[in-house]
Structure 1
C-alpha cells in the first residue's frame, strides 16, 4: 500500500515574503507551479533562519520593542484602512500577533547576521590599490555627448513620408532650428516621429558607437549647443543637437578609493556571513512551523 504524504504547510510569513520577492504577488494570487516554487523557497529560508537562531551568537540578541514596532508600522502604513490590513493578514493565514512574532524572528535573524558581518576584516590601502589597477576599465569614463534629435522616417506608404516629402519636412525644421536652437524641444514634440519627442528629443548621454554610424560621426563633431545639418541614416532623416560635452576622464585612485573601499567591505561582509552559515549545524524542526 502506498503511503500518501501529508501536504506541507509553509510558515505563512516566510511564504508571503518569498512569494512577493519571486513574483511580486501574494501566495493566493500565484499559479500552482509558482506556488510550489515559492513554498520550496520559503521552506529553505525558514530552515536556514532556524539554523541562524540556534547558533550561540543568537543567544544574547534581544530586539528592542521600538525596532519591532517600526517594522510592524512599516507594513501597517501600506494600508489606508484597518479592515483592508486585517483582511490581507487573514488571506495569508496571519494575525496581528503572528505577524509581530514573525517580524521579531526576522529582526533577530538580521541582527545575528549583522553581528557576524561585523567580524569581516578591514579593507587596507594595498588591497584598494590592487583592485584599482586590476579593474582599470571601470575607472576610465569615455567621452559622452548629451544629445537630442528630431526624426522623420521614410515610408512611401504615406504621402508625407515619401523620401522627397520627408526630406523637405526635415530641411524646413532644420532651417528653423539654426535660427532658433532654443526651440528644439518644442519642435521635437511637434514633429519628431521618435518616442523621444515626448522628452524634447533627448537621447541622453551617449558614448561613441551607440548611435547609427552616420549620426555618431556628426554628433561627435558638434560643439556644445550646436545643431547639426540634416543627417540621413538607414531609417530616415535626423537633426541633432549636442546639448553638452562630457570629456573623457580617468578617475584617480584617490577619488575612486571611497567607492572601492565600500564595495570591498560589502564583499568581505558577505563572504564572512557565507562562511559562518556554511558551518552552522543543521537545526532541529521547530514545533508546528511546518505542520500540516
Structure 2
C-alpha cells in the first residue's frame, strides 16, 4: 500500500479514516484506503485555496491555541509512546503533525472570519422562525429524577443478589419513613457516579431510562419515592423531585435558541458560498 509523503495530506487521511471507518489508514481495505486518500487530497487542495485567499492575510494561530489542541489530541492516547507510534505508522512525525494541525486551525480561523459577513439576524427574523416552526418548540413532559443503585455481582460478598437485595430493602425502608434523606442515602450507599450529586439523574423525558425505571418514574408524583426496582445494572430506588408538564416554549424562552440556530445557519451559507467562489476561480 503506498505511503503518503505530504504531512498535511497524511494528517487529513488519518482524520478521514477515523471518521469514516473508525480505523487508522494502515488498517483500511484497499477501496477504503483509496477513498480516504482521495478525500484527503481534495481537502488539502481546498485548504491551499483558502490559505491563498486575501482573507487569509492576517490569519494566525496563537501558540497557546496550537499547544492546547496538541495537548487535547495527545490526551486521547494512553501514553506518549502510543501517540508517537501512531504518528509513525501514518507517515507523520511530531513536527509534521503540529504543522498540519496549525494549518487546519488557520483554515478554521479564516472561515470564521468569512462567517462574520453573514447577514444580521433581526428580532423579526426570530419571531417569524418561531411562528413558522411551532413543532420545534413543543416541550415533552419531564421528571427531575434521582436514584440509588446497588449493583449485583455474585463475586463480591456484599453484592450477591441476596445481599444486594437486603441492602436496597434497608435503604428503601429508611426512605419510606424519611424521604427527605434521599440525597444523604445516595451519597452514602449508591454505587453509581451520580451518588456524588445526591443521585441526581437530571430532568428526563420519557424513554431515557431502562424501561422498568422509566415506567416507575412517570407513575410517581412529585416528591414521591419508588419501591425497589430492578434493571440490568442492579437494584434501584427512584425519587421524582419535580414534574414539568408538556407544553410549548414561549417566544421569549425560545428566542436565544432560535437566534443561535439562525446565526449558525447563515454563517454556514456564507462560508459555503465563499468556498464555492474560490473553487470556481481559475
| TM-score higher than 0.5 | yes
Matches within 5 A, 1:233-244: 239-244=237-242
Unaligned stretches of 5+ residues in structure 1: 1-5, 285-292
Is the CA contact 1:15–1:27 (under 8 Å) kept in the aligned structure 2? no
Q: How many angstroms apart in 2 are the aligned matches of 1:237 and 1:8?
A: 54
Q: How many residues align?
A: 257
Q: CA deviation at 1:176?
A: 2.6
What TM-score do the two structures reach when normalised by structure 1?
0.63
**Residue aligning to 1:61:** 57
Q: CA deviation at 1:247?
A: 4.7
Greater RCO (CA < 8 Å, at least 6 residues apart): 1
The alpha-carbon distance between structure 1 residues 62 and 159, as it changes in their structure 2 partners (threshold 3 A), is: closer
SS in 1 for 2:45: helix
The alpha-carbon distance between structure 1 residues 125 and 22, as it changes in their structure 2 partners (threshold 3 A), is: farther
SS in 2 for 1:122: coil
**Residue aligning to 2:4:** 9
Q: How many angstroms apart in 1 are the aligned matches of 2:207 and 2:82?
A: 52
Matches within 5 A, 1:189-228: 196=192, 199=195, 202-208=200-206, 211-212=211-212, 215-216=216-217, 218-219=219-220, 222-224=221-223, 226-228=224-226
Q: How many angstroms apart in 1 are the aligned matches of 2:15 and 2:135?
A: 37
Of 63, 73, 86, which residue of structure 1 is paired with 2:67? 73
What TM-score do the two structures reach when normalised by structure 2?
0.64
Unaligned stretches of 5+ residues in structure 2: 152-159
Q: How many angstroms apart in 2 are the aligned matches of 1:217 and 1:39?
A: 51
Q: State the structure with more CA Rg.
A: 1
Q: How many angstroms apart in 1 are the aligned matches of 2:92 and 2:125?
A: 50
CA-based RMSD: 4.8
Deviations 1:85-144 (A, max 9, x none): 996798344464x56754664455334423432221111222211211233233333332
Of 155, 174, 177, which residue of structure 2 is paired with 1:176? 174
- Which one has the bigger helix percentage? 2
